[in-house]
Structures are given as structure tokens and as C-alpha cells.
Structure 1
């Protein structure tokens, strides 16, 4: 079976609940790449998670959760540190994150830990997110990215709380564009565009990444759907209308859904397939938004059919 290698962080999201001064925090396993790997597996694809976990009970639970979801854990390495926490507050359904834990348990994957045969044999390689802000993970991801073989998909997954000044934003933009230049697919959110490209529209940001080499760019826009700029042209794809309660992991589910489709049928060719794949991905994300977020919100194909009927 064709497999995807998903590289990046696993951590614990502490999701805020309650009103006024009466707030509590519900711990759930998360991290964008962790969510992507689980999302691919829940949809019936084969994903291998490659990353570092700590040495505590949360790391044990994360590894068990991956395995129970059907995600391969042969690329997981354990480090002697506590699992990173992400304090998650909300504006409406949209989450904001602050991260706690030094050194970050998710960024300690060394180049010597990388199974290059696993990467070379993959149909799809995903990387991105906050792990790329730190060494040694960044160097390990670059090594994987330059390994011939898989289609390459990238998501910068910008977290402003980790970018203290304009210099940090500039560094992340340069790093993101280095990966984007050889990517088969780049996925951003409209919030990522606002941070990385200031006053640019999503269409302008996508066009820039296409100009520097990305084969296709998808920019998610919450309830407004997604903008596509790819080899078959540009298009605005609408999202299903839902009463969102928690958008945590929604963008990750879009990436998981697209990877699942690529594993099943290869990358799209013409515009009809691109639009169908994105419509499917946005239906996945809409269902995720109706649930309390994180990896636990990633749906199965049966759950999608139960909610939406047959999808393109």
C-alpha cells in the first residue's frame, strides 16, 4: 500500500472551556503534523509519523494514540524531556496558541534518526509547522525534503506567538519559500498569508509561491472555503455551511484529506479533479469544526458519508 511520511510535532493542546473567570483546560493530543497523520489514517490511508516525543506519560499516550489510529510509529524517537504544552484560547471557534516547554520535545529529531529508505519509498512526504523553527529538526526535515522519490507537500502553519519580531517573520518567510520552491503542494491559511505577506491578498500570496516553484498552492479561508492556484488554473472552492464550535485541526484535516486522495488516486491532473479533491477536503474540515478539536476530531469515511452523503 502506498504510504505517506508525515514529519513534525506532537504535543498536548490545553483547550480552554468555560466563560468569564471560570475557565478550565481540557488536554488533548495535537500538533499539526500529528493531526495530519491521524487524519490520513482515519480516512483509510497509510501514514508513518516521523518525529520526536518526550519521556513522560503524554508521550506514551501520543505513541499509543498513533498506533491505535493505524499510524506507523517506526519513525518516532523518544527524548529525555517533558512533552510540550500548547495553551489554546479561542476567539469564536478560532484557536490561538501559546507554547510551553524548553527544549521543545517535538524538535529533537536528529538527522541520524531519519530512516531515509522510509522517506524514499513514500508516495507523499509532508512536513512543516512549528518544528521547522528549531534545530535539530529543521536540518532533519531538509534532509528528508531533498530525498528523491515522494511527492512533497508543505504547510508553514504559522504561529505568531513564536515569532517575536519582524526579523523572526522574515526568517520564517524565507524558510517557507525554500520549501515551497520544490513543493508539489503548499497549503496555507489566510491567517498565514496575513503574517507572512502583510497586505497581500490570498491570490497574490499563492501566485508568488507558484512563481518561485510550487506546483500548486491552496489557501484555506475558514467558512469562505479555499483558494486554489495550480497547474489547471485558479479557482475559489466554497466550504459547506456549518455551526463551527472549534476550528482546531481544521486546516490539518484539509491537508490530511488531500494526502489521502493523492495516496488513493495520485495527484490531480485537470481542473475537475482538483476541484473535487478540494471539495472533499473542505467537507472533512467542516465536520472537524463541528467537534471539539485536535486529533480526536479527525473523521472516518463512514462518518463523512453519514454527515454529507456521497462526496466527489
Structure 2
């Protein structure tokens, strides 16, 4: 099985446990491990794959907590750099249903290429870019663009999920340009329906997919919640139905979907052949839809990630 490397942020989510209050009003917060690429690495490992997380956390107790969280999930943490203070994100759900969000950036933004053992990045392995904070100014931004070039030159399988966050991304035109650059080199791209329309500049999801596919990915998956996942390949486009479950918390469902897709890519002996076979890829998406649905049946992004047995039981 191929190794799956995930690069980006690993941080502390301080989630307000009081409902219907702003951060100014909230007084009780629960500490959670956060960061989309870290969630994807944990999802791959939970299914039985080999995942490596690449990022930076603080040289503090919060960094210890995050590293230990991934280690318990059997994620390879040897490429995590330490230093400074761990990044925090504070979030609450206000009475009007809107999120109140404050981001306190720390160590994740200082992940530098000169601290990475590049010899571990080899042809055939998978490198997943899924960082919401990678687009922010800082060393991490420089690093991910350098890693994209290295991965392309070494023949790695490149995966990309833009993870757009309104509270973090203010220059939408710059965000769109960055996404299109990654689309040109990625073999697999996952987007939400909103991200597909934002990056393509088209309001119709079906037309948006056609626009995005012209930029080069072999496989594009646009997740559309209960409606299913729109799978686009060089052959055709297909809406793969979602799986109905009793939803408890959708946090991390998208990362579970991505992790499940990468797990299937990593385990495919004839990957190039599979990438040219729409029916095979549709089966991968059905598997990933089940993983995303299973993740909605529990609380917490990492805690609710399904095992292979749980996915197959749906």
C-alpha cells in the first residue's frame, strides 16, 4: 500500500460548549484536536492505511496533546516539527446560527522546507494538500508551493482540497488563483459545492465542474451533502448518491470522505488504470460517501472517523 502524506495545519479547536452564545458571552470551552489535513491523515490510518502528517506544532503542552492524538491513531508523526506556540482556533455557535470565530495563529504557519526530510517523498506515494491556513501569509504558504513542485517532479500522486474558510480567507481572487494553480497539477481534487462555484466563478454546479475539469485533474469530487457527490472524470459526470444516517455532527465528514478516497487510491495496485475507469472510481466514491456518512454519526472530527468495518457495515 502506498503512503499518504498530508501537509498543513494541526491545531487546537477551543469549542464553546454553551449553545447560542458569542465568544464574548461563552465561558466554557472544550479542547479538540483540529486541522483538516491532520483529520485526513487520521482518517486514512483509521481505515488501515499508512498516513504521515507533515506540519508544525508548538513546543508546549498543547503540541504534546496534538502529537499524542495523532500517534494514538497510528499516524506517523516523525515529520512534525516543534517550536513556538501552538495555533488556537476559538469557535461558538451564536443564537442566529452563525459561527463566532477567532483564530490565533502560532506554530503551524512556520513549517519550513528546510526542516523536512525530502528523501521520504518518493514516486508513487500520495501527497495531500488540504490546509485552510496554507493560503495565509507565512512560511507554510511558501512551503506548500515548494512541495507541490517537488511532488510533481518526483511523480507523486497529488491530492488537493481547498478547505475554504470565510473567517480566514479575505482575498477571494488570490484564493481562486492559488486553487487553479493546484488544480493544474493535482490528480484528485475534492471540493464542496460552494467551493466549486467560488473557484470556477460559475453559479451552476454542473457547469462549474466542467470549467474546473478543464484545468487538469483526473478526478474531481464535489460533495453536495444529502444530495450526494458529483463525480467528474475524463469520461463523464455522475451524481453518486449519499448514504442516509441519523446525523449527530457533520464536523470532519469531508475529511473522512477525502481520507477514504486516498485510502482506496493508496491500495490500488493498478492506479493509473483505475484513474481511467469511471466505474471503478464511482465505486471509490460510494465507499467514501459511506465513510463521510459514518463520520456524521458521532461527535468530534477525529473521534467520529470510521474504521473499515464500520464503513463496510453501512
Q: TM-score scaled by structure 2?
A: 0.89
Identify, as 1 or 2, the structure richer in strand.
Answer: 1
Partner of 2:36: 32
Alpha-carbon separation, structure 2, partners of 1:305 and 1:97 = 37
Structure 1 residue 303, shift from structure 2 partner: 2.4
- Relative to structure 1, the CA distance from residue 253 to residue 274 in structure 2 (aligned partners, 3 Å threshold; closer, same or farther) is same
Aligned-pair distance for 1:179? 0.6
Residue of structure 2 aligned with 1:234, choices 229, 232, 237: 237
Runs of 4+ with >6 A deviation: none
Does residue 1:146 correspond to 2:153, yes or no?
no
> For 1:300, which of 300, 303, 307 is the aligned residue?
307
Alpha carbon RMSD of aligned pairs, Å?
A: 2.3
Residue 298 to residue 46, structure 1, CA distance change in 2 (3 Å): same
Question: Which residue among 184, 189, 206 is the counterpart of 1:186?
Answer: 189
- Matched-pair contact (CA < 8 Å) for 1:4–1:46: yes
Structure 1 residue 20 displacement after superposition: 4.2
Give 1:80's aligned residue: 84
For the residue of structure 1 that corresponds to 2:238, the secondary structure is strand
Would the alpha carbon gap of residues 208 and 95 (structure 1) be closer, same or farther in structure 2, given more than 3 Å must change? Answer: farther
268-277 or 15-24, which deviates more: 15-24
After TM superposition, the structure 1 = structure 2 runs for residues 127-138 of structure 1, keeping only pairs within 5 Å, are 127-134=129-136, 135-138=138-141
Shift of the alpha carbon at 1:188?
0.4
CA distance in 1, matches of 2:71, 2:101: 27
Instruction: After TM superposition, give the deviation of residue 35 of structure 1 in Å.
Output: 0.2
User: Which deviations, in whole Å up to 9, do the C-alpha atoms of 1:172-201 show, x marking residues without a partner?
Assistant: 000011011111011101132344345522
Q: Which runs of 5+ in 1 are unaligned?
A: none
Q: In 2 relative to 1, CA 108–243 (structure 1 residues): closer, same or farther, beyond 3 Å?
A: same
Cα gap change, 1:180/1:78 in structure 2, threshold over 3 Å: closer, same or farther?
same
Does structure 2 conserve the Cα–Cα contact (< 8 Å) formed by 1:155 and 1:186? yes
1:289 to 293, 296, 308: 296
Structure 2, gaps ≥5 residues long:
none
Distance in 2 between the 1:151 and 1:227 partners? 21
Aligned to 1:157: 163
Question: What's the counterpart of residue 41 of structure 1?
Answer: 45
Task: For 1:3-82, list aligned pairs within 5 A.
Answer: 3-21=3-21, 24-82=28-86
Assess if the C-alpha contact under 8 Å between 2:46 and 2:307 holds in 1: yes
Hey, what does 2:126 align to over in structure 1? 124
Question: Which TM-score applies when normalising by structure 1?
Answer: 0.89
**Deviation of the 1:90 alpha carbon:** 7.9
Pairwise mapping of residues 140-289 of structure 1 onto structure 2 (< 5 A)? 140-147=143-150, 148-164=154-170, 168-197=171-200, 199-266=202-269, 267=271, 268=274, 269-289=276-296
Please state whether the residue corresponding to 1:74 is helix, strand or coil: coil
Equivalent residue pairs, number = 302
Once the two structures are superposed, what CA deviation does each residue of 1:42-90 show, in whole Å capped at 9, x if it has no partner? 0000011001111221210111111121111111001212332242538
Could you tell me how far apart the structure 2 residues matched to 1:271 and 1:129 are? Answer: 28
CA contact (8 A) 1:119 1:144 kept: no
